[in-house]
């Protein structure tokens, strides 16, 4: 069976989810012919560059405008118009991706981004491909832009996610709760003390993982100053300027890291995490059993993620930077509260997401 796992580079989460699924096929010794593709690699050069660039600009420079359009495009009365505009827009810019899908005519397409879903579903409706299409929603809430006629199955992060997809008109039998896929490394047992030594951290201190997202945005310097009573491991992602600024602080309590490829270990050595509430980051933390404080949420998908998690009693939100130390001290000094929080985290975690998604291929 020929299988395509497809994503679009607009933030790291869609790519990491796709990579986790691809790795799951490969590590399981699957007999299928599986390929991993960034859909933007099959679009025109301007579109390939501007698609992630515009997204990055909006969420970093004018997030309020992004939130406005996010909400506007989800208004039920506008959905038919949005679908028409998307079809024209993707038809003009993603012609190479259309031709690639028609030429390969995969037996199954697993999409972790709505661009791949929209294009493949349109081709299927037109009878140009016969692929089984599985859409993996990588947030806890669901924007209608994820949905397209022609998709065979959707996977969601939680029961809330499933209910939301169904409320948007998808039959219940076409929706499964699998969780958002994470790399199998997050499920492997680890020794926190050994990892702290490995990463140059002290072993006897309550340790906070400060994850700035792939773009490295937010009031990071202020947070580091407020958390002087804790040990903080800061992940700067792709933001080299942020890494240089933070390194120049010479903070005794914070150790600064750039882009890392061992986030499973960084989570395992930590007692709590301060993070942007992206769907993939949340899922990795859930599988790692890591309590979270959210900050600098992108209006729209990330603020909606927070609301969904709050309904499950998971994650701390609505706190200012100056209030973060008190929240962390409360967790550090209350084993009972920490245990209760971890129990709720475990109930929401889906460590077998990749296996469950792969199992849908042969249904």
What is the average pLDDT score of the chain?
A: 93
Mean pLDDT along residues 199-228: 88
**Contact present, 218 and 296 (Cβ < 8 Å):** yes
- What is the predicted pLDDT for the residue at 357? 97
Q: What is the pLDDT of residues 6-20, one digit of tens each?
A: 999 887 899 999 999
| pLDDT over 80 (residue 244) | yes
| pLDDT over 90 (residue 53) | no
Range of weakest confidence among 60-64, 244-248, 260-264: 60-64
Crossing angle between the packed helical segments 301-311 and 159-167, to the nearest 10 degrees: 120
Crossing angle between the packed helical segments 45-61 and 63-72, to the nearest 10 degrees: 110
20: its two tokens: 């986790």
- What is the predicted pLDDT for the residue at 252? 87
- What is the predicted pLDDT for the residue at 216? 64
Mean pLDDT along residues 210-218: 75
Q: What is the pLDDT of residues 94-133, one digit of tens each?
A: 999 999 999 999 999 999 999 999 999 999 999 999 999 9
| pLDDT over 80 (residue 203) | yes
Higher pLDDT, 143 or 249: 143
- What is the predicted pLDDT for the residue at 215? 65
Using alpha carbons only, give the angle 122, 16, 186 rounded to the nearest 5 degrees. Answer: 135
- What is the predicted pLDDT for the residue at 111? 98
Q: Which residues contact 255 (CB under 8 A, 6 or more apart)?
A: 199, 200, 201, 231, 232, 233, 234
- What is the predicted pLDDT for the residue at 107? 97
Q: What is the pLDDT of residues 228-242, one digit of tens each?
A: 999 999 998 888 888
15: its two tokens: 């790519």
Q: What is the DSSP string of 132-147?
A: EEEEE--SSS--GGG-
| pLDDT over 70 (residue 178) | yes
Burial-class residue 312 by CB neighbours within 10 Å (0-12, 13-18, 19+). Answer: middle
Which helix (H) or strand (E) is 207 found in, with range? strand 207-211
User: Distance between CA atoms of 195 and 212, rounded to whole angstroms?
Assistant: 21
Domains annotated for the chain, with CATH where assigned, are 2-177 (3.40.50), 185-348 (3.40.50.2000)
Split at pLDDT 50, 70, 90, the class of 304 is very high
SS3 of residue 176 by DSSP: strand
| pLDDT over 90 (residue 305) | yes
Look at residues 144, 148, 140 and name the one whose alpha carbon lies nearest to residue 116.
148
User: Distance between CA atoms of 97 and 93, rounded to whole angstroms?
Assistant: 9
Q: What is the pLDDT of residues 312-332, one digit of tens each?
A: 999 999 999 999 999 999 999
| pLDDT over 80 (residue 169) | yes
């Amino acid at each position: 069976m020929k299988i395509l796992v497809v994503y679009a580079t607009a933030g790291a989460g869609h790519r990491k989810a796709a990579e986790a699924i691809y790795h799951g096929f490969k590590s399981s010794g699957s007999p299928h012919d599986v390929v991993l593709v960034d859909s933007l690699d099959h679009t025109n050069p301007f579109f390939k560059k501007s698609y992630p660039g515009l997204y990055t600009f909006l969420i970093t420079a004018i997030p309020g405008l992004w939130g406005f359009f996010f909400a506007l495009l989800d208004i039920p009365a506008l959905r038919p118009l949005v679908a028409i505009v998307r079809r024209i827009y993707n038809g003009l810019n993603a012609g190479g991706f259309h031709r690639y899908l028609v030429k390969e005519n995969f037996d199954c397409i697993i999409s972790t981004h709505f661009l791949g879903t929209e294009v493949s579903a349109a081709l299927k409706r037109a009878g140009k491909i016969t692929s089984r299409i599985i859409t993996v929603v990588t947030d806890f809430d669901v924007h209608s832009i994820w949905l397209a006629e022609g998709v065979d199955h959707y996977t969601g992060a939680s029961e809330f996610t499933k209910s939301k997809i169904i409320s948007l008109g998808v039959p219940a039998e076409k929706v499964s709760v699998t969780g958002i896929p994470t790399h199998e490394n997050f499920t492997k047992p680890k020794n926190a003390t050994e990892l702290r030594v490995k990463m140059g951290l002290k072993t006897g201190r309550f340790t906070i993982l400060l994850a700035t997202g792939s773009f490295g945005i937010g009031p990071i310097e202020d947070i580091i100053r407020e958390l002087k009573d804790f040990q903080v491991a800061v992940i700067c992602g792709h933001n080299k300027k942020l890494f240089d600024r933070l390194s120049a602080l010479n903070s005794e309590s914070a150790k600064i890291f750039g882009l890392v490829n061992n986030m499973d270990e960084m989570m395992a050595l930590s007692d709590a995490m301060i993070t942007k509430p992206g769907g993939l980051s949340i899922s990795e933390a859930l599988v790692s059993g890591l309590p979270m404080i959210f900050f600098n949420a992108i209006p729209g998908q990330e603020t909606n993620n927070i609301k969904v998690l709050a309904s499950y009693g998971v994650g701390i939100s609505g706190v200012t930077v100056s209030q973060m130390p008190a929240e962390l001290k409360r967790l550090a000094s209350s084993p009972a509260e920490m245990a209760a929080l971890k129990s709720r985290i475990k109930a929401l975690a889906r460590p077998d997401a990749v296996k469950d998604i792969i199992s849908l291929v042969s249904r």
